[in-house]
Amino acid sequence: MSYTMDTTIGGRQMKVEYGKTGMLSNCAIFISYGETVVMVNVNASEKPRTGIDFFPLSVEYEERLYAVGKIPGGFIRREGKPSEKAVLNARAIDRPLRPLFPKGYRNDVQIVCTVLSVEPDNMPDILAMNGASMALCISSIPFSEPVGTVSVGLIDGEYVVNPTSKQREMSSLNLTVCATKDRVMMIEAGGDEIPEDVMYDAIQFGFKECQKVVDFQLEAMKAFGKEKNTPALYVVDETLEREVRDFCFDMVKSAMYITEKDQRNAAMDEVKVKIDEIFAEKYPDNMADVNDVVYRVQKEIVRNMVLRDKRRPDGRGFEQVRPISCEVALLPRTHGTGLFTRGLTQVLTVATIGALGEVQILDGIGEEEFKRYMHHYNFPSYSVGEVKPMRGPGRREIGHGALAEKALEPLIPSEEDFPYTIRLVSEVLSSNGSTSQASVCGSTLALLDAGVPIKRPAAGIAMGLVTSEDLSEEEILTDIQGIEDFFGDMDFKVAGTEKGITAIQVDTKIHGLSENCIKLSLENAKKARMEILGYINDCLPAPRSEMSPYAPRAYTINIDPDKIRDVIGTGGKTINRIIAETGVKIDIKDDGKIFVMSNDSLGAQRALKIIDDLTRDVKAGEIYLGKVTKITTFGAFVEILPGKEGLVHISKLDVTRVNKVEDIVSVGDEILVKVTEIDSQGRINLSRKDAIKDQEETEKDIEK
């Protein structure tokens, strides 16, 4: 039996169809919003996975190019690995849902969101997030707290829910809010320096709009939801837990109260050795349970330290930022570098300036076709003192790079003001909390060092949270380090300038955030951001006036768009010849703007002259230095501009009578000629005699 339900969100219909497709999935739905359609399938294993200490949830966001009427590029003409956008969307779906599964649930759960049809006005990522929650809620999987998701825009001071394509272009804010009936679960935002109070109100607006989606899911659960399975939750044996806890609690507490990280870790290593000596023999098959108890004891001690003793593991105040240092110009041959250190977190960002033709081409289902500003983030194992295989970027690296990119994007100069492609690469050298926000700071330094005229410097900070079991008590922490992130309840990242917020990303491990938590986190993040911006300003207050000598320079020339074909030539022969002769890079825009990129100013000027000559119109009365290309009995043909040739009749070759053309010129000679006429057929008539007379008159005028 199939079921259909619909509701109205933001003035458009959201509809869900269940029971029509995917009969062998635990739950399969089609969810649509306008003409955007996403298929969501959710399934769970029958039995828990053994030998693990985490919830094995996997989320896949599958983009199909047929959804936008495209055929994939490449040799095999089919979709390959997920795009960065797909990876980011999968992470966004995972983050608000994961905390709402039962604690101790170890069954494998997979959510697959397949984008089938895309209408530009209705974003498939928002729809997929709602579809994932809907499918879980009406499935038999033990998940029963609906999560609603909306996008919020800001146009002329008014908040807009799920803005259309045109509205997104006009909006100064791109905010995603995920919420349950009572609390906000996740926030993702990018904005054009949005003030804190405006951002807070936007989040509250989004929370209220989410309630309509939550109510829709609750109605679906009542109408056709399956009976929920009773899960077998992972529970440690009570006797084992009591024994381990009694043995280790005081030792763990003493270790966790050491403020210096290395000493604390060394003390904990000693504690774990003692625990192994006692319990490895007694519980040889249950050491995973022993370790789980030790983990929970550590977590309890750290949380009580914050909530009861009102102190942090490293002894800082709740609003205190770790020691900061900023450096630039570390590498001699790169175009710009910035080294940002905050406590034991350290990030080196390198900026590279390139030609506009080096933009990143995007072959996906989004509206964006290319990017001229890119930010990449690398997190090697040595940054945490570990030994692991070096592989390509994972989901975490892609996510952190995208967040830093979003934080700086509103500050990047336009193509007209800075006609270059910009790539930033952040290398995490040492990690002890919030490397993504450190990469925002390091990237700002690198851009300033590279001479990129950014609107203003940006900085980022991560806020943390520790709550009581019933959520009645909470303490907000500024600039969380690794241990506070690991044992805490929230990672609230905020980046921006002195004017306002440019990016937010919020993850939570609990059942949502209170209004007070969101408001106070924004306020305290601003204080910390202003402090960090002070350090950046002291290091390098403005972009360097001169770019690195190793960075290419861009030169611009505007031509008639109809003349573009003259610059390119048949099969690209002309433009390739210019590049080969001058060593430059050339990018041509449809409006006739041409960018010439080169480290050699002489080569660039030569290329510009060639282009100018190729596209310049021949005008009657002007004098040109031309080259003789052919001789006939009646005159000589002279090329005055590339591809533009005219005839000098024998009677116009000299001021005196000429009997034979060869007496005056030979093929290959360069001579001054004057354009006397361009006839109705476009033929150019030239005169060397008139050019000589004009030159003589000019010389006489100079002598006078």
**CA 24 to the chain's CA centroid:** 37
d(CA 339, CA 336): 11
For residue 18, the cross-strand partners are: 3, 29
Residue 118: left (phi > 0), alpha (psi -120 to 50), or beta? beta
Give the helix ranges, DSSP H, for 225-311: 238-256, 261-282, 287-307
What's this model's pTM, rounded to 2 decimal places?
Answer: 0.88
Sign of the four-CA dihedral 582, 585, 590, 591: negative
Give the helix ranges, DSSP H, for 5-148: 84-97, 124-138
**Residue 372 pLDDT exceeds 70:** yes
**Residue 699 pLDDT exceeds 90:** no
Quickly state the pLDDT bin for 17 (edges 50, 70, 90): very high
Quickly state the pLDDT bin for 616 (edges 50, 70, 90): confident
Q: What is the pLDDT of residue 77?
A: 86
**Residue 177 pLDDT exceeds 90:** yes
Q: What is the pLDDT of residue 346?
A: 98
E-strand spans in 54-132? 57-63, 107-117
Q: What is the pLDDT of residue 566?
A: 86
- Residues 30, 39: contact at Cβ < 8 Å? yes
Q: CA separation (Å) from 295 to 318, 329, 568? A: 24, 43, 66
Residue-wise pLDDT tens digits, 216-244: 999 999 999 999 999 999 999 999 999 99
Burial state string for 85-103 with b = 16 or more CB within 10 A and e = fewer than 16: bbbbbbbbbbbbbbbbbee
Quickly state the pLDDT bin for 609 (edges 50, 70, 90): confident
Torsion angles phi and psi, residue 55, rounded to 5: -90, 115
d(CA 486, CA 464): 10
Average pLDDT rounded to a whole number, residues 17-28: 95
**Residue 144 pLDDT exceeds 70:** yes
Q: What is the pLDDT of residue 360?
A: 85
Q: What is the pLDDT of residue 615?
A: 87
Find all residues with CB under 8 Å of 431, minimum gap 6, and list them: 344, 345, 379, 383, 384, 482
Q: What is the pLDDT of residue 357?
A: 85
Residue-wise pLDDT tens digits, 431-460: 998 999 999 999 999 999 999 999 999 999
Q: What is the pLDDT of residue 702?
A: 65
Least confident of 129-138, 438-447, 677-686: 677-686
**Residue 277 pLDDT exceeds 70:** yes
d(CA 395, CA 392): 10
d(CA 547, CA 464): 39
Residue-wise pLDDT tens digits, 308-342: 999 999 999 999 999 999 999 999 999 999 999 99
**Residue 127 pLDDT exceeds 80:** yes
SS3 226: coil
Q: What is the pLDDT of residue 351?
A: 98
- Residues 175, 151: contact at Cβ < 8 Å? yes
d(CA 644, CA 641): 5
Q: CA separation (Å) from 116 to 20, 24, 332, 573? A: 16, 19, 49, 42
User: What domains sit in the chain, N to C, each tagged with a CATH number?
Assistant: 3-171+194-223 (3.30.230.70), 238-307 (1.10.10), 324-539 (3.30.230.70), 553-615 (3.30.1370.10), 623-703 (2.40.50.140)
- Residues 604, 553: contact at Cβ < 8 Å? yes
Average pLDDT rounded to a whole number, residues 604-629: 89
Task: Look over the chain and give the mean of its residue pLDDT values, rounded to a whole number.
Answer: 94
Give the whole-number percent of the chain exceeding pLDDT 90: 82
Quickly state the pLDDT bin for 363 (edges 50, 70, 90): confident
* 396: enclosing H helix or E strand: helix 395-408
Least confident of 263-277, 298-312, 458-472, 561-575: 561-575
The more confidently predicted of residues 159 and 469 is 159
Quickly state the pLDDT bin for 370 (edges 50, 70, 90): confident
